Structure 1
Amino acid sequence: MNHDASRSLYDRALSVMPGGVNSSVRAAPQPYPVFVDHGEGGHVVDADGNRYIDWVCGLGPLLLGHDMPEPLQAAVQSRAAEGPMYGMPSDIEVEHAEFVCRHVPSVEMIRFVNSGTEATVSACRLARAVTERNKILVMQGGYHGAQESTLVEGDADDPKPSTAGIPQAFAEHTIPVPFNDPEAAREAFETHGEDIAAVLVEPIQANMGIVYPVDGYHEHLRELCDEYGSLLIFDEVITGFRVGGLGCAQSEFGIDPDITTFGKIIGGGFPVGAIGGKTEYIERFTPSGDVFQAGTFSGHPVTMAAGLETLQYCAENGVYDHVDRLGQKLREGLSDIVADHAPEYTVVGSHSLFKLVFTRAEGDPQGDPCRNGCRQAPGCGRHDACPKRGTDVTRAETDRYARLFRPEMRERGILLSQNQFESNFVSYGHTDEDVEETLEAYKMAL
């Protein structure tokens, strides 16, 4: 493939944007990113005219793929034609909120914002106000946006900022514990429980290689929060309306969180975030309560129309059956390929999420209990070697993926996530032929 146009654009971008990009992960591909010209269904075409099967899907928002179905396109065009935005309420905000509250079990009220980061920032502020406590318990390797309360590394005894620009005093209000470790969570509560405002957790760690919860883990967190009077916040920015259909991952796992954060799919491919939950908590936001939260572009009419039409289309057109079936076909196909060509690697994912983590496991390949993606099943022969938390993925062969494997897949016409940590996503625009071509490329590249 020729990549001259992408190279030239990157060269220009380096002079006017830090790292040549507007979001850090986009600079990860070696030696420079593909610059996209346009999308078509489950494919994108780059600035050089190269066509790829796209499993990045905007890093998650494009559940329907790059082609907007006619009802969605009509709704977006109609709202845009009526005026860019108003700074005042509109009917579509109410309709979208009603739809979400009808379908997500724990959501009684919702506040729309502009990004997943804004949603988690607001959720942490809300939890602190409700409980009159300061500390937020998070999972090591979890990602909750570019915010001071969660850009923290270390452990419960020694938390520290994971980036320059965050005071150590901020990090001291965050308690990182290992995901899938019930005892570590309980020990943190026994030490700090009187000052823990909330547990902030992804139902599935989907930004660090896709790590599934062990049986009973979320139930344990729910019990700890109830015991100590803390709030349970589910970060469903990635899993929301992708895992568990319209009920989201919380319905899949049967958990009733106090607060849920959303992003990506809830905006139908346009900038969005949201904080939903129990009425007694969400109505603490101003103007009904005392927790300040506001935004010029919140509830943007084009985003609200796109989000509502996307979810309605999913409800009426078998979208989840399609994407979940292709996701399973990819994961099971990858499990077969890996067993023959790279048994030390681990296939992970659920529903329409998938990933091949370049783990360094020894012994048997993944067994039948985890053939459809690692499920932390004790009956799997390589249970002890699979990733139990996102931080485990940092010990995988991340350089091999970035420098050799992903570029090879790109040259074969397959775009995968930019690094070993981000998920790959299936869309309604993908086909069985796309899956078969992708599996063949994996086989050749491995």
Structure 2
Amino acid sequence: MNDERSRALYDRALSVMPGGVNSAVRAAIEPYPFFVQKGDAGHVIDADGDRLIDWVMGLGPLLLGHDLPEPVQAAIQRTASEGPMYGTPTEVEVDLAEFVARHVPSVEKIRFVNSGTEATVSAVRLVRGATGRNKIVIMQGGYHGAQESTLVEGDADTPAPSSAGIPHDFAKHTLPVPFNDEAAVQEVFDEHGDDIAGVLVEPILANYGIVHPVDGYLETLRELTDEHGSLLIFDEVITGFRVGGLGCAQSRFGITPDITTFGKIIGGGFPVGAIGGRADLIEHFAPTGDVFQAGTFSGHPVTMAAGLETLTFAAENDVYDHVNGLGEQLRGGLTDILADQAPNYTVVGTDSMFKVIFTRDGPAREGLEGQCEAGCTQNPECPRFGFCPKNAGDVKRAETERWRRIFWGKMREQGVFLSQNQFESQFISYGHTSEDVERTLEAYKHTL
């Protein structure tokens, strides 16, 4: 591929932006990222004119793909033409709030913000304010945005900031535990239960390789928080309105959290975040309560219109049947390819999410009968169960550098754009086709 223009743009960008990018993950590909000129259905065209099948989809927000259906596009254009924003409430934010409250089990009231990070920052402040407690339990390797309370590594005994600029005194209030480890979270509650404000967890670890919960794990979190007077926060910034359809992942698993954070799809491709939950909890936000939260661009009318029309279109059309069907086709095809070419590797994902984790160990090729057919679901009867990733540490121990330094580039040469590292999810959109899936499977077969 000819990257002459991307290289020139990156050279310019390095002079005026740190690392030449505005979000660190975009620089993960070496020696430089390619620049995108435009999107087209399930594809992107880069600055040098190369067309790629796009499985990144803006890192998740683009449920409908790059070509928005006419009613969605019309609503965005109409709202933008009426004025950029006003600093007052608008009807469309009420409409979107009512839509979310009708469809998501945990949501009685909602506060819109401007990013997933802002949503999780506000949710952590909310549970601390509502409970009068300080400590937050998070999952090791889980990502909840660029915020001080969750950029923490280590374990519950020795938490430490994972970024410069965060005082150690902040990190001591965060208790990291391994995902899917019931004994570890039980131990943390035994020791700190009286001071734990809440547990912040993705129902599926979706930003670190796509790791399903083992049977009973989310139920354990629900029981422990109830028992100790803590609050359960589901971070559905990624899974929201993608896994489990309009009911989100919480409806899939049958667990109702106290608070849910949203982002990505809820804004239809525009900057957005939201915190929803029980009315008595959300009412702690100012102006009705004593937890301050505000933002100039919160409830931005163009974002609200994009989100509402995207979700309405999904509700009234075959969007979830289409994307989930392609997901089954893609993950099933990958499972067959890996069984033949790389039996140690693991296919993960559900609904319209997928990934191949370059796990180092697995059952013998002849022992794969009865494995999960279209993505790991943590099935104890699966011959891979003892080898498939159970937490972020398991994903990190995979061949992450081979994935990034060799595999990603070879897939791009085959015309397939995958997420920039081993950890980020990949997404299917309404703009993708069965032909896109088959071409992608051929690229995996060739590259592996």
TM-score norm. by structure 2 comes to 0.99
CA offsets 1:93-138 (integer angstroms, 9 cap, x no match): 1000000000001100000000000000000000001110000000
Where does residue 354 of structure 2 map in the other structure? 354
Please tell me whether residue 387 in structure 1 is matched to residue 395 in structure 2.
Answer: no
RMSD: 0.8
The letter for the 1-side match of 2:423 is F
Where does residue 270 of structure 1 map in the other structure? 270
Counterparts of 1:237 and 1:179, CA distance in 2: 18
Please tell me whether residue 29 in structure 1 is matched to residue 29 in structure 2.
Answer: yes
TM-superposed CA distance for 1:264, in Å, is: 0.1
- Please tell me whether the aligned partners of residues 106 and 278 of structure 1 are also in contact (alpha carbons under 8 angstroms): yes
Where does residue 431 of structure 1 map in the other structure? 433
Please tell me whether residue 134 in structure 1 is matched to residue 134 in structure 2.
Answer: yes
Where does residue 95 of structure 2 map in the other structure? 95
- Please tell me whether the aligned partners of residues 262 and 274 of structure 1 are also in contact (alpha carbons under 8 angstroms): yes
- Please tell me whether the aligned partners of residues 371 and 383 of structure 2 are also in contact (alpha carbons under 8 angstroms): no
3-state SS in 1 of match to 2:386:
helix
Query: Where do residues 91-130 of structure 1 align in structure 2 (5 Å cutoff)?
Result: 91-130=91-130
Counterparts of 2:279 and 2:299, CA distance in 1: 19
Where does residue 292 of structure 1 map in the other structure? 292
- Please tell me whether the aligned partners of residues 210 and 390 of structure 1 are also in contact (alpha carbons under 8 angstroms): no
The 1:97–1:367 alpha-carbon spacing in structure 2 relative to 1, beyond 3 Å, is: farther
3-state SS in 2 of match to 1:169:
helix
TM-superposed CA distance for 1:381, in Å, is: 1.2
TM-superposed CA distance for 1:369, in Å, is: 4.1
TM-superposed CA distance for 1:399, in Å, is: 1.1
Query: Where do residues 8-47 of structure 1 align in structure 2 (5 Å cutoff)?
Result: 8-47=8-47
- Please tell me whether the aligned partners of residues 135 and 197 of structure 1 are also in contact (alpha carbons under 8 angstroms): yes
Question: Which runs of at least 4 in structure 1 moved beyond 6 Å after TM superposition?
Answer: none
Where does residue 315 of structure 1 map in the other structure? 315
Match of 1:418 among 417, 420, 438: 420
TM-superposed CA distance for 1:31, in Å, is: 2.1
CA offsets 1:195-234 (integer angstroms, 9 cap, x no match): 0000000000000000000011101100000000000000
The 1:93–1:362 alpha-carbon spacing in structure 2 relative to 1, beyond 3 Å, is: closer
- Please tell me whether the aligned partners of residues 30 and 407 of structure 1 are also in contact (alpha carbons under 8 angstroms): no
The letter for the 1-side match of 2:260 is T
Where does residue 151 of structure 1 map in the other structure? 151
- Please tell me whether the aligned partners of residues 270 and 303 of structure 1 are also in contact (alpha carbons under 8 angstroms): yes
3-state SS in 2 of match to 1:368:
coil
Counterparts of 1:231 and 1:367, CA distance in 2: 41
Query: Where do residues 58-69 of structure 1 align in structure 2 (5 Å cutoff)?
Result: 58-69=58-69
TM-score norm. by structure 1 comes to 0.99
- Unpaired segments of 5 or more residues in structure 1? none
The letter for the 1-side match of 2:23 is S
3-state SS in 2 of match to 1:38:
strand
- Please tell me whether the aligned partners of residues 364 and 382 of structure 1 are also in contact (alpha carbons under 8 angstroms): no
3-state SS in 2 of match to 1:19:
helix
TM-superposed CA distance for 1:378, in Å, is: 1.2
- Unpaired segments of 5 or more residues in structure 2? none
Where does residue 399 of structure 1 map in the other structure? 401
- Please tell me whether the aligned partners of residues 345 and 362 of structure 2 are also in contact (alpha carbons under 8 angstroms): no
Where does residue 282 of structure 1 map in the other structure? 282
- Please tell me whether the aligned partners of residues 161 and 168 of structure 1 are also in contact (alpha carbons under 8 angstroms): yes
Identity among equivalent positions (%) equals 72
Counterparts of 2:364 and 2:154, CA distance in 1: 32
TM-superposed CA distance for 1:307, in Å, is: 0.1
3-state SS in 1 of match to 2:110:
strand
